[in-house]
Amino acid sequence: MLGFRARVIAFFLTITYCSFAQESSPYSSIGLGELQSYEFALNRSMGSISTGYRHPLNINVANPASLTALKRTTLETGIYASYRQLLTQTENTTSHNATLSYLALGYPVTSWWGGSFGLIPFSRIGYDYRDSTTVPDLGAVYQQYTGEGGIYQFFIGNGFRFKKISAGFNVGYLFGTNTHMRIDSLPDGADFLNTRQTRTATVGDIIWNAGIQFSDSSKNDWITTVGVDIKTSRPVRITSREVWERFNYTNNFPNVKDTILNDTLTTFMQLPAEYRFGFTVGKAGRWQLGADFSYKDWSAFHYLGQTANIDNSWKVSAGGSFTPDRKSHNNYFKVINYRLGLFYDSGHLKIGDRQIPEYGMTFGVGLPLRRVFSRINLSFEVGQRGTVDNDLIRETFVKAWLGFTLNDKWFIKRKFD
């Protein structure tokens, strides 16, 4: 059984998991918002390589075939924080946030079957920006655009092994609500009413992905793994509500005068297909190197009538880890797992004729805890997205994950002499 402190941590994270903070990025106003990858803190620090990654003490949600590698019951949870600088040719601002990120439990069922379940973010929306213009006979018109919310995924995964080949699948349930709001204010016209457009989209449907891994080990502890993961394009149910109101301000608070539109519609959005290939090679307990390549086909995507500003995208990432001496008893720095990685994402957002790429480097450490079979994973990602050319926005960001990995032997029958 997990120790008392571990159980307290697990309970606390369970009851507080849904208190997500919001990202702050104007690019999240397009489509599904900020898409979140499936990797936990450990893989994030190695450039987010995961398709060919497997480990006996860590959960790899991105490729469920890796669940067959689990040797102990594993509880993983993580805290996420970010700092962003948003820059245009004329303006500069910053934003930051922190939130609980993921919670998952993985377990070996038999020597050839592993399972997992948990809660992870799928996408996040958070933005607040303003614009203004002048209209004849109306004067100045101030426009404010805000958005908040997120889509989350509860998943159940299983992996099965036959000799050197493993195959697995995740079945997930997407849920959550996104809210977009636009306010047009007319400060120069006392006789004119302001307008407010609010659109909410509530998601609730099932998705899935499947993966395969081939893993081979040699007598000198060299391990090579090659993996493939596939997410098919599929429709997801959305309940959309759109409300148009006219109002004025009373003591700086909006006072609604009438409702122009109040419609609710159940429809579907089409998610993109994604194909991933990756590999890792290394020496057990000492070092590991790997790379991933992924391609997303957005050609069938649509979301509440949005089909523009989206294009097919690809991503390449590479990374590795190194432990000087995992058996050292007198030098803690030798048992730390040091990690480093790089990534480049062509980006699926397209504004005008320009795609919005994202690239950066990652690094981190795995800190083993003495006397308990658990670790703290600390991961950092430093990168950039976009450009200031053509009146666009460049984001420079620092992201951090503080992950906790707790291992124990569950579901194993004890034997006594």
Q: Which residue has the higher pLDDT, 181 or 30?
A: 181
For residues 240-256, give the mean pLDDT: 83
In a 13 Å sphere around the CA of 55, the CA atoms on its Cβ side amount to: 24
Q: For residue 123, is it within any domain? A: yes
Q: Pick the closest to residue 157 from 112, 105, 122, 205 (CA basis).
A: 105
Residue 278: pLDDT above 90? yes
At residue 14 the predicted structure's pLDDT band, cuts being 50, 70 and 90, is: very low
Predicted confidence band at 89 (pLDDT cuts at 50, 70, 90)? confident
The predicted structure's pLDDT at residue 26: 82
Question: Above 80 in pLDDT, residue 211?
Answer: yes
**pLDDT in the model for residue 19:** 43
Q: What is the mean pLDDT of residues 164-184?
A: 95
| Domain count for the chain | 1
Q: Residue 342: which pLDDT band, with cuts at 50, 70 and 90?
A: very high
| Alpha-carbon gap, residue 27 to 354, rounded angstroms | 13
Closest to 287 (Cα-Cα) out of 318, 328, 324: 324
- Sorting pLDDT into bands at 50, 70 and 90, what band is 286? very high
**Tokens 């926005």 belong to residue:** 393
Q: How far apart are the C-alpha atoms of 352 and 350, rounded to whole Å? A: 6
| pLDDT for 142 | 85
CATH number at residue 50: 2.40.160.60
pLDDT for position 32: 81
Tell me: pLDDT of 15 over 80: no
Torsion angles phi and psi, residue 348, rounded to 5: -95, -10
Among the listed residues 61, 124, 35, 27, the one whose alpha carbon sits nearest the alpha carbon of residue 403? 61
What percentage of the chain carries pLDDT values higher than 70? 91
pLDDT band per the 50, 70, 90 thresholds, residue 75: very high
pLDDT for 87 beyond 60: yes
Which domain does 136 fall in, by range? 4-408
Residue 206 pLDDT greater than 50, yes or no = yes
Query: Does 413 fall in a domain?
Result: no
Cβ neighbors of 241 (< 8 A, separation 6 or more) are: 199, 200, 202, 262, 263, 264, 265
Least confident range of 111-120, 152-161, 222-231, 404-413: 404-413
Q: Minimal CA–CA distance to 29: which of 370, 398, 351?
A: 351
Q: Provide DSSP, 41-99.
A: HHHHTTTT--TT---TTS--TT-GGGGGG--SEEEEEEEEEEEEEEE-SS-EEEEEEEE
Q: pLDDT value at position 13?
A: 43
Is 333 within the bounds of a domain?
yes
| pLDDT at residue 257 tops 90 | no
8, part of any domain: yes
Flag whether pLDDT at 375 surpasses 90.
Answer: yes
pLDDT band at 307 (very low <50, low <70, confident <90, very high): low
Query: Looking at the domain assignment, is residue 388 inside a domain?
Result: yes
Q: What is the mean pLDDT of the chain?
A: 87
Is residue 5 very low, low, confident or very high in pLDDT (cuts 50, 70, 90)? very low
For residue 123, is pLDDT > 50? yes
Nearest-angstrom CA–CA distance, 191 and 187: 10
Query: Would you place residue 193 in the very low, low, confident or very high pLDDT band (cuts 50, 70, 90)?
Result: confident
Q: Six-digit token pair at 258? A: 């009438």
From residue 47, how far is each of 238, 293, 381, 399 by CA, in Å? 33, 11, 8, 12
Mean pLDDT over 25-44 rounds to 88
The answer to whether position 415 is within a domain reads no
List the single range of 25-29, 132-136, 237-241 with lowest mean pLDDT. 132-136
Q: Which residue has the higher pLDDT, 94 or 190?
A: 94
10-19, 226-235, 296-305: segment of lowest average pLDDT = 10-19
List pLDDT tens digits, range 349-369.
888 788 899 999 999 999 998
Residue 150 has pLDDT above 70, yes or no: yes
- Comparing CA positions, the residue from 367, 322, 324, 339 lying closest to residue 39 is 339
Q: Are 252 and 285 in contact (CB under 8 A)?
A: no
In a domain, 120, yes or no: yes
Please give the Cα distance from 37 to 219 (Å, whole number).
35
Residue 417 lies in a domain: no
